[in-house]
Structure 1
Amino acid sequence: MGIKSFLASRKKQQKFTDDVPIKVSDYMSRKLITFKSEDLIEKVIDSLIKHRISGGPVVNDKHELIGIISEGDCIKQISESRYHNLPMENNTVGKCMITTVDTIDGNLNIFDAANKFLESRHRRFPIVENGKLVGQISQKDILKAARALKGHTWK
C-alpha cells in the first residue's frame, strides 16, 4: 500500500514577463481634461459634471503641471462665496487649486502605485515626464489593472 496525496496537482504558476502589463504607464489615462489657472471655477464645475470626473490637473501654456483642482476645491469656493455673500464669477482656478502636487512615476509597478493610493488617500496621481504632464492614474485605473491581471501570480 502506497501513500496517497490528497493535494490536487498544482498548476504551474505564471510569472510576470515583459509582455504582462504591470506598470502605471500601461494603465494611466493619457487623454485628460485639463484646466488653466485663469479658468473660472464655474467652467471647472460645468466640466467636472459634464465629464463625470472628480478633478483634474492644472497646466500652464507649456503643458507643465502647476496644480490640481478638485470637486472639493470647487465646493469650498461655493461655500465661501455664499458665506461671505460674494459673487463667484471672478473666482479662478489659480486662486483655488492645490499647488503642492504628488505625482507618480509611469514606470512604477501597479501594485506599488496601489500602496501609494492607500498611504496618501488621493483619488488620482498625475504622471510627469521631462516636466510635462503625460497622464494620470486614478484609483479606478488600479482596479482595472487588477482585474486585467486576474489569474497571474501577484508576487
Structure 2
Amino acid sequence: MESIKIADYMNRHPVTFTEHMPIAEAVELFLHNKQIGGPVIDENRKVIGFLSEQDCLIKMLEATYLNENHYAVGDVMHGDPLTVKKESSVLDLAQQMTHHKPKIYPIVDEADKLIGVINRSAVLKALDDHLKAMYERGHTRLV
C-alpha cells in the first residue's frame, strides 16, 4: 500500500475559489461541478483557505433572511487547511482521515502551490483497488 501514491488518485482539475469571490458565485461553482468543498487560492495558486458547501449554506441562509447578499469567500473560508503532497501514501492519508474530518484535501507541490485535490471517495477507491489486487494475487497463487 505504501507504493500507492496520492498522485495516482488525485483530481488534477478541482474547482477553486478566490478570497474576494462572492459566495453566490462559489455556490454556482459547487452546484455546476458537484464538488462539496474546495481550496481557496491566491493569485500565485497558493492555498490560503478552504470553502465548503456548509460554509456557503450558512451565509446563503443569512442572506435570505436579511434580503442581502454581500458575503465573499474570504468572509467564511477556513484558514490554514490541511494539505498533502502528491508523493504521499494513500494509506497514510486514509489513516489521517480517520482522525481529522476534512473530506477533501488540497494537494500542493514543493512551493505550496495547488496541483489538485483528493477526496474521501478517491481514497476509498485506492484502498478498494489495492485490496482487489491483493486478492487476485493471492487467488492466483492458490491455483
Q: Give the match for residue 140 of structure 2.
A: none
For residues 15-54 of structure 1, give each alpha carbon's deviation from its aligned partner in whole angstroms, at most 9, with x where no partner exists. Answer: x69xxx5011111111111111111100111111111110
4+ residue runs of structure 1 moved beyond 6 angstroms?
Answer: none
CA-CA distance at 1:104 after TM superposition: 1.6
Q: Give the CA deviation at 1:86.
A: 4.8
Residues 1:138 and 2:119 are matched in the alignment: yes
Tell me which of 96, 111, 116 is aligned to 1:116. 96
**Partner Cα distance (1:46, 1:31) in 2:** 17
Q: Percent identity?
A: 29
CA distance in 2: counterparts of 1:98 and 1:152, whole angstroms: 39
Give the one of 63, 71, 87 matched to 1:107: 87
What is residue 10 of structure 1 aligned with on the other side? none
1:125 aligns with 2:105: yes
- Superposed, 1:30-45 pairs within 5 Å as 30-45=12-27
Task: Give CA deviations for 1:71-111 in whole Å, capped at 9, x if unaligned.
Answer: 0110111233345x2501x2111111111211122222111
- For structure 1, which runs of at least 5 residues remain unmatched after alignment? 1-15
Give me the CA root mean square deviation: 1.8
Task: Choose 1 or 2 for highest CA Rg.
Answer: 1
Look up the equivalent residue of 1:121 and give its one-letter code.
K
Find the residue that maps to 2:85 and give its secondary structure.
coil
CA distance in 2 between partners of 1:44 and 1:152 (Å) = 41
- Which residue of structure 1 lines up, in the alignment, with residue 74 of structure 2? 94
Rounded Cα–Cα distance in structure 1 between residues aligned with 2:85 and 2:42: 20
* Count of residue pairs the alignment pairs up: 133
User: So what's the TM-score if we normalise by structure 2?
Assistant: 0.85
- 2:68 aligned partner, one-letter code: P
Give the letter for the 1:57 counterpart.
P
Q: Distance in 1 between the 2:133 and 2:71 partners?
A: 49
TM-score (norm 1): 0.79
- Higher fraction of helix: 2
For residues 104 and 86 of structure 1, the distance between their equivalents in structure 2, rounded to whole angstroms, comes to: 39
